[in-house]
Amino acid sequence: MGAQQLVAEAERGSVALVFGREKMGLTNAELDQCQFVVSIPANAQYSSLNLACAVQVMSYEILCASRQAQNTTPREWHEAHVPLARNEEIDRFYRHLEEVLHEIRFLDPENPRKLMRRLYRLFNRACLDENEVNILRGILTAVQRHGGKRAC
């Protein structure tokens, strides 16, 4: 599934396949920058792969997925060609979201990292395009304008 997603996103713009360190994988900060995470199933008795093996497995899966992608429907083709939001736009959205969550007292100032990390992962999985980021930021701006008051 991860290889198929990577091939589809590559049709929309630049992508990166990031591998963790052999000893400890990726840091939380590095994971926060990822739109989705892939885990390679392995034997439960020895569940880790060295980096070279992981690269080989993913390379093969990407090759297979790219061959399958050549048989897409027109709708799938259109969805694959809508450009994703740039990282700078996503970062501005996250800063705006955190600001608004503080303003409306939803984000616990004593423990902001857990909630924000979960929200990063949620929105990263959505693979937002530029228009979607603009819509979300517009919603946040409207919340700020109304001071967090409920509209009836």
Question: In this predicted structure, what is the pLDDT of residue 152?
Answer: 46
Give the phi and the psi of residue 147 in degrees, each rounded to 5: 60, 25
**Segment 27-68, tens digit of pLDDT:** 988 888 888 888 888 888 887 788 888 899 999 888 888 877
Q: b/e per residue, 93-115, with b = 16+ CB within 10 A?
A: bbebbeebbeeeeebeeeeeeee
CATH topology agreement for domains 2-80 and 87-145: no
Integer angstrom CA distances of residue 119 from 73, 81, 82, 107: 32, 25, 23, 11
For residues 1 and 16, give the distance between their C-alpha atoms in angstroms, rounded to a whole number. 16
Domain definitions of the chain by residue range: 2-80, 87-145
Could you read off the pLDDT tens digit of each residue along the chain, which spans 152 residues? 688 888 888 887 888 899 988 888 889 888 888 888 888 888 888 877 888 888 999 998 888 888 777 776 555 654 666 778 888 999 999 999 999 999 998 987 777 778 888 899 899 888 888 899 999 999 999 999 987 565 54
CATH topology of domain 87-145: Helicase, Ruva Protein; domain 3 (1.10.8)
CATH, range 2-80: 3.40.1280.10
